[in-house]
Structure formats: C-alpha cells, structure tokens
Amino acid sequence: FQAIESGFDMVMFAPVFAAESEALSLQELSQIQKRIVAKAHKYDVAVEGEVGELPLFNSMTGETHEGEDTDPDVCCEFVSETGIDTVAVSIGNCHLKENGAVEINYEALRNLAEKVNVPLVLHGGTSIDRKDLGKVSQMGVAKVNFGTGMKRAVLNTLKRYMSDHDVDLMDPNDVLGRGGDKDLLVLEQEAVIEYVEATIQAMHGENMAF
C-alpha cells in the first residue's frame, strides 16, 4: 500500500518471501490480492500476481527445491476472481539458476496463454536460454524478471578488474568515483547495460517501451 501511494506503477505481493507463506491457502491469497487490486486500481497502479511456485536452485549445494507448475484452470480462476493485471507462472523457469539451463514447457505455456486473459510473466529469467526468451515473447509472455544474470555480470567484471589491475598501486579515486575508463563502478554499469540490451534484443523488445 505504501508503494501504491508513493507512485510505483506496478506492485506485487510475493508470499514466497514471507515467513508465513506456506500457511497461506489459495483462498487466503485471493482475498489478499483482491484488497491490493482494489487499492491499486484507485491509483491506476497495475498489480502482478503469481500462481504456481518456481523451483529454487541452491548454487552452493547444486540442489533444487521443487516448485509447482501453474495449473491453467486454477490460474484462470485466480485472475478472474482477483482482477490482477498480470500473472507470473511456473513452466520450467527456476529462481537463481543461471546460464539458460532450464527446459521451458511450451505446451503448458500455450495452454496458459489460451486460457488466461492477462499478460503472462516469467520470473527466474536468468534460467531461460536467449532463444527461448525470443519464443516465449511471441506466446503471451509480456514481462520477464531478471536479477541473478545482471549481478553475475557485475561480479565477473569485478573479478576481471582485480585480475588485470593492482589496485594497491592505483589512485583509489580512479578506481571508484572518478568516472573514467579505470572506474570500476562505470565498468560495472556498462556490464549491466550490455546484459540488459542483449536481453531486450532476445525478446524482440527494441523500441517497445511505453
């Protein structure tokens, strides 16, 4: 509610990050979403919901916590009942998995796109191969969430920088804050920009901002 009143143009309630998330039934979640939608739409703010649960990859152990694929009928009913504007779905995508390593269930996506009358969203975008991003963008997916990939781009930039430069012999102002070609912050920003541009191109999203 604070985000709605502060000028955000889209909000999402993400029970997966709440301690009580496992105790929430679909009916309880629907009631919460309806209250959020009622408030948000008064401010012309869009609301994203989520049906299903993404698997969660642990890079330290290599283990994956199983998720739950999105049921098209449940999803359709949830969207209709709550009035949400977009819905995040689980069709093989995975939180925190990198390098486009997942296999997208295109049949499930096709069924969802046919039944659900709002734009679909995929979280765990870093887990999806670039060629798959282009394909899902033509099948009803209007938004893909990325985080891990951009952070990895920054970390790789940092690793290369420390390998190529002896920062103990450098002016710290050159390394951080001066804005030149030795500025690590600038190089990290450029890495994120490059990642984002490549992702937009993969999704055929050039000149599609609104």
- The answer to whether the Cα torsion of 104, 106, 112, 118 is positive or negative is positive
- Rounded CA gap, 154 and 185, in Å? 9
| Identity of the amino acid at 171 | D
Q: Cβ neighbours of residue 117 under 8 Å, at least 6 residues apart?
A: 76, 79
- DSSP class of 70: P
In this prediction the pTM is 0.88
Let me know how long the chain is: 210
Asked if residue 128 lies in contact with residue 105, where contact means CB atoms within 8 angstroms, the answer is no
- Rounded CA gap, 111 and 164, in Å? 50
- Rounded CA gap, 45 and 5, in Å? 9
| Residue 204 pLDDT greater than 80, yes or no | yes
How far are the Cα atoms of 63, 91, 129, 144 from residue 97, in angstroms, in the given order? 10, 14, 11, 14
| Identity of the amino acid at 33 | Q
Q: How confident is the model at residue 19 (pLDDT cuts 50, 70, 90)?
A: very low
Residue 151, φ and ψ in degrees, nearest 5: -65, -35
pLDDT of residue 133: 94
- Three-state DSSP at 161 gives helix
- Rounded CA gap, 72 and 80, in Å? 12
| Residue 101 pLDDT greater than 90, yes or no | no
pLDDT digits 0-9 by tens, 72-94: 999 999 999 999 999 999 999 99
pLDDT digits 0-9 by tens, 118-152: 999 999 999 999 999 999 999 999 999 999 999 99
pLDDT of residue 16: 59
pLDDT digits 0-9 by tens, 153-169: 999 999 999 999 999 99
